[in-house]
């Protein structure tokens, strides 16, 4: 198996931000079956180690391509764009004000008379912003504007963290 190829080629997919999940999942299952470490169990220790490495590489590639955030990072990596754009994004005053407002709403969630309703409104707001950033990334990436694509990825990271935080808060509210 040629593991030196990029993740998209590994799964037979075009190099693009938009990924057909059905095709990705199907190709993943095929590769998983074909290169499962149990198939090498009767082989030498070297064969078993190679099979485990191959399975780990397939899993890593799948995890990367199924996540919009990781996929965007990977596409920038393939394009040779290195570095962290978070410092540029944190100088975007409007974005920072929006983040502060969202975080304040999250902090006030415990005191809200209908915390679950407020949580769902927050989640909906953040999900819309996440999708908007995905679309911005796709547009800038396809246009070859990697600096703006990099900024969109940094914003995606902020919104992904907020979504994780909302999931944790929901669990906390349910546990009470």
Report the SS3 class of residue 18: coil
Inter-axis angle of helices 146-175 and 115-142, to 10 degrees? 160
**Does residue 75 sit within a domain?**
no
The domain that holds 20 is classified in CATH as 1.10.287.110
Q: What pLDDT does 146 receive?
A: 94
Over pLDDT 90: what percentage of the chain? Answer: 69
Domain that holds residue 99: 84-175
Q: What pLDDT does 152 receive?
A: 92
**Does residue 169 sit within a domain?**
yes
My answer on whether 88 and 171 are in the same domain is: yes
Q: What pLDDT does 90 receive?
A: 64
Q: How many domains does the chain have?
A: 2
Q: What pLDDT does 4 receive?
A: 65
My answer on whether 102 and 148 are in the same domain is: yes
Place 3 in a pLDDT band, splitting at 50, 70 and 90. Answer: low
Domain boundary among 66, 95, 110: 66
My answer on whether 58 and 114 are in the same domain is: no
With beta carbons less than 8 A apart as the criterion, state whether 35 and 58 touch: yes
Q: How many residues in total does the chain contain?
A: 176
**Does residue 1 sit within a domain?**
no
My answer on whether 102 and 135 are in the same domain is: yes
State pLDDT tens for residues 39-90: 777 777 787 788 888 889 999 999 999 999 999 999 999 999 876 656 666 6
The CA–CA distances, whole Å, from 176 to 29, 72, 113, 114 equal 40, 37, 15, 14
State pLDDT tens for residues 110-125: 889 999 999 999 999 9
**Taking all residues of the chain, what is their mean pLDDT, rounded to a whole number?**
89
My answer on whether 37 and 120 are in the same domain is: no
| Residue 155 CB neighbour total at 10 angstroms | 24
State pLDDT tens for residues 120-139: 999 999 999 999 999 999 99
């Amino acid at each position: 198996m040629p593991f030196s190829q990029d993740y998209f080629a590994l799964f037979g997919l075009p190099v693009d931000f938009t990924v057909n999940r059905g095709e990705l999942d199907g190709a993943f299952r095929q590769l998983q079956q074909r290169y499962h470490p149990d198939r090498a169990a009767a082989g030498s220790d070297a064969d078993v180690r190679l099979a485990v490495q191959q399975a780990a590489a397939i899993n890593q590639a799948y995890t990367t391509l199924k996540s919009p955030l990781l996929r965007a990072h990977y596409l920038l990596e393939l394009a040779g764009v290195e570095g962290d754009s978070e410092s540029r994004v944190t100088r975007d005053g409007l974005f920072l004000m929006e983040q502060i407002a969202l975080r304040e709403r999250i902090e006030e969630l415990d005191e809200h008379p209908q915390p679950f309703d407020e949580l769902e409104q927050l989640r909906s707001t953040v999900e819309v912003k996440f999708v908007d950033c995905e679309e911005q990334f796709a547009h800038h990436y396809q246009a070859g504007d990697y600096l703006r694509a990099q900024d969109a990825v940094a914003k995606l990271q902020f919104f992904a963290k907020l979504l994780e935080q909302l999931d944790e808060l929901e669990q906390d509210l349910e546990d009470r």
